[in-house]
Amino acid sequence: MGLRERKKLAARAALSWAALRLAMEHGPENVRVEQIAAEAGVSPRTFNNYFSSKEEAICAIGLDRQERVRAALLERPAEEPLWEAVITSVLEQYEGEPDREMVARVRMQMCHPSLQGEHLKARAEIERVLAEGIAERIGTDIRSDMYPSLVAAAVSSATRVAMNHWLNSEPPAELLSTLTEALRSLAAGLPQPPRRKKPSC
Amino acid sequence: MGLRERKKLAARAALSWAALRLAMEHGPENVRVEQIAAEAGVSPRTFNNYFSSKEEAICAIGLDRQERVRAALLERPAEEPLWEAVITSVLEQYEGEPDREMVARVRMQMCHPSLQGEHLKARAEIERVLAEGIAERIGTDIRSDMYPSLVAAAVSSATRVAMNHWLNSEPPAELLSTLTEALRSLAAGLPQPPRRKKPSC
DNA sequence: CGAAATATTGCGCGCCGCGCAAAAAGTCTG
DNA sequence: CAGACTTTTTGCGCGGCGCGCAATATTTCG
């Protein structure tokens, strides 16, 4: 990779990180594009060569997670059932103790109205890549077969629901177990509602 | 309901429809808020009392679908299994031949970058209402039990994937059968990839 | 090095979201 | 219906944004 491309990647990352940091510190509404550009060391005009809005920049962090999940998936042993491989690949992205920083970030991205749209767009992108990975693994293609996209969408949704539940859980739950529960429920088949700790009656 | 509230609803609907119509005719990028307001018979300033962007107005159509699905769900016989009730309630919203108009509308909302975010936000809202309906039906609540949200998310995702597949299908597929296939796959349990017409090898 | 390719920057324009306060419209009570 | 109230609409104005354009700087390649 030449100097040119490296600098572009660096600039993009710098802008994205700067956007996130400032948004975390002052709230997304109180961040000017001007500041982000300044913190990344480029002109305000250049910002828009990389992102078409500050919201996009803020949510672009973690878009590289898509490639990590995909890579993890393709490295799972071929004899492992698809579903196991997918669940494992997703879960291992969330290993380690979630720090206060991450909680605040996820909460901001998922709850702040001005970021929701972009956040969901980012999720959709991740979902697409995951679907491609699944298709590659089982030897189909996305265009003709809905199955990979369905699996990817289900996993993505379960992850989203679990994170949302985790964020609002009182008392605070564990992230990994919440995620696992959601994915396992899905795997077990949703039609049979699992009886849980808090049954209705 | 007093005159006041009726007028508000009417104004909101008028703005939303005007926004959609103009976006369909000229493309979302070429619509000014001014035009939308004019077509709805209010001042431009008033537009922003109802919607915070034209994208939001465009995607707000069909947000009432949420209530229809919910109502349909709650009217299903109580002895029917949840999953059947949900699938039926969703599918019956899509009965009838999809006209050319609808195809174009869905395609615009799902594919046009400037609308994707808002469209996904709208879906999330529908999903929330659906989850509440499910919770109400099985007698749980959303806060403590992830299950209703999981089901709602799964259904919503399957619907989205199916519509996307349907839009890009070549040759054109039937909407209802595509939707049914997606929802049934989910019901059957995703872990076992169903062997289909187009197996990979 | 020198030329071609590509990225950055400054400038400027039209549009947008929204706060504010005045005016208009609907509501309620006697 | 009068008149006081609540709520909505509207005009005005400001700061910010997204982007096209053309000039400039930087990287690439022969």
Residue A153 token pair: 């969408």
A200 close to B (CB below 8 A): yes
The helix/strand/coil state of A30 is helix
**Structure letter (DSSP) for residue A199:** -
- In this prediction, residue A193 carries a pLDDT of 64
Cβ contact, residue pair B149, A138, below 8 Å: no
**Structure letter (DSSP) for residue A193:** P
- CB of B30 within 7 Å of some strand C atom: no
In this complex, the residue of A83, A140, A164 whose CB is nearest that of residue B200 is: A140
- In this prediction, residue B200 carries a pLDDT of 44
Contact B156, B126 (CB under 8 A): yes
Task: Give the pLDDT mean for B59-67.
Answer: 89
- In this prediction, residue A198 carries a pLDDT of 46
* Residue that wins the pLDDT comparison between B76 and A187: B76
Write a three-state SS string for A112-167. Answer: CHHHHHHHHHHHHHHHHHHHHHHHHHHCCCCCCCCHHHHHHHHHHHHHHHHHHHHH
Residue A195 token pair: 């009886």
B96 close to A (CB below 8 A): no
CATH class of the B3-58 domain in this structure: mainly alpha
Q: For residue A52, which nucleotide's C1' is closest to its Cα?
A: D18
B8 has a pLDDT exceeding 60 = yes
Which residues lie closer than 8 Å to B29 by C-beta, 6 or more apart? Answer: B114
- In this prediction, residue A64 carries a pLDDT of 84
- In this prediction, residue B62 carries a pLDDT of 85
- In this prediction, residue A194 carries a pLDDT of 62
- In this prediction, residue B189 carries a pLDDT of 79
The overall average pLDDT reported for chain B is 92
Closest alpha carbon to A110 in A102, A123, A119, A101 = A119
B149 has a pLDDT exceeding 80 = yes
- CB of A197 within 7 Å of some strand C atom: no
- In this prediction, residue A191 carries a pLDDT of 72
Compute the C-alpha angle A154/A157/A162, nearest 5°: 125
Cβ contact, residue pair A153, B157, below 8 Å: yes
Q: Where in the sequence of chain B do the CATH 1.10.10.60 domains occur?
A: 3-58
Q: What is the pLDDT of residues B24-58, one digit of tens each?
A: 999 999 999 999 999 999 999 999 999 999 999 99
Please state which of the four CATH numbers 1.10.357.10, 3.40.50.720, 1.10.1660.10, 1.20.210.10 is assigned to the domain occupying A65-188. Answer: 1.10.357.10
- In this prediction, residue B201 carries a pLDDT of 42
| % of residues, chain B, pLDDT over 90 | 84
Q: Where in the sequence of chain A do the CATH 1.10.357.10 domains occur?
A: 65-188
- In this prediction, residue B199 carries a pLDDT of 44
Return the number of CB contacts < 8 Å for A and B: 129
Length of chain B (residues): 201
List the A130 CA – C4 C1' distance (angstroms).
40
Write a three-state SS string for chain B. Answer: CCHHHHHHHHHHHHHHHHHHHHHHHHCHHHCCHHHHHHHHCCCHHHHHHHCCCHHHHHHHCCCCHHHHHHHHHHHCCCCCCHHHHHHHHHHHHHCCCCCHHHHHHHHHHHHCHHHHHHHHHHHHHHHHHHHHHHHHHHCCCCCCCCHHHHHHHHHHHHHHHHHHHHHHCCCCCCHHHHHHHHHHHHHHCCCCCCCCCCCCC
- 10-residue block means of pLDDT along chain A (201 residues)? 92 98 98 98 98 98 87 93 93 88 95 97 96 94 95 97 95 94 88 56 42
A153 close to B (CB below 8 A): yes
- In this prediction, residue A2 carries a pLDDT of 86
The helix/strand/coil state of A51 is coil
Residues 174-193 of B with CB under 8 A from A: 178, 181-182, 185-191, 193
B93 has a pLDDT exceeding 80 = yes
Distances (CA, A) of B134 to A54, A84, A106, B71: 36, 28, 26, 11
B171 close to A (CB below 8 A): no
- In this prediction, residue B1 carries a pLDDT of 86
List the B122 CA – D21 C1' distance (angstroms).
37
**Structure letter (DSSP) for residue A173:** P
Residue B21 identity: R
Residue B20 token pair: 């959609």
> A83: which chain B residues are within 8 Å (Cβ-Cβ)?
190-191
B172 has a pLDDT exceeding 80 = yes
B198 has a pLDDT exceeding 50 = no
Q: For residue B51, which nucleotide's C1' is closest to its Cα?
A: C17
| % of residues, chain B, pLDDT over 70 | 95
List the B93 CA – D26 C1' distance (angstroms).
57
Neighbours of A64 (CB within 10 A): 11
Q: For residue B43, which nucleotide's C1' is closest to its Cα?
A: D10
In this complex, the residue of B124, B154, B182 whose CB is nearest that of residue A190 is: B154
- In this prediction, residue B96 carries a pLDDT of 84
